[in-house]
Structure 1
Amino acid sequence: MNQAIQFIDRLEFREPDHQLVFFAQVSGMLVECVIAVKTLKLTDESHATDYFEKYRFEYEERAEQLIEEESYNSAGQIEVGLVNLN
């Protein structure tokens, strides 16, 4: 794991946009890592949190790769696709 990238214990479920947002600290800056979860039909924040906790490692690993590749969107966020659930 890259020491300059640390994931903090913070998760937001942005209901109108159907997004899960977790956060990384990258060289002192807070970076939003966004997962579009509309297709998963998560009904509330509790379901979203349970889902994220189940796949946390996979999402953090993918976000770390994208951060290292500097794949930020125009808002300065990292957009993380859904993990393969197989």
Structure 2
Amino acid sequence: MNVSRGEQRVLHVLARGGQIRHLRGDNGRIHHIDCFTHEGYVLSDCTLAVFAALKRKRLIESREGGPYRISRQGRLAVRAQTDNR
């Protein structure tokens, strides 16, 4: 599966225990997201476009209305992170 560099960064954060918290608008759609690392820092690379791509590819999931976390399929898609960026 093709996963972009930005998507890989978000998947790495989620694989290490991070989460994506979302806010819904009046129409019920998600209009704002924040990606938090396990340590509580905010990842600025996580945009609505990256979030939508990860959700469309079913690499992240939300259970019972909670924050989005990495899915089993996402764990299989994540590659080893190199030090070169």
**Superposition TM-score, scaled by structure 1 size:** 0.31
**Superposition TM-score, scaled by structure 2 size:** 0.31
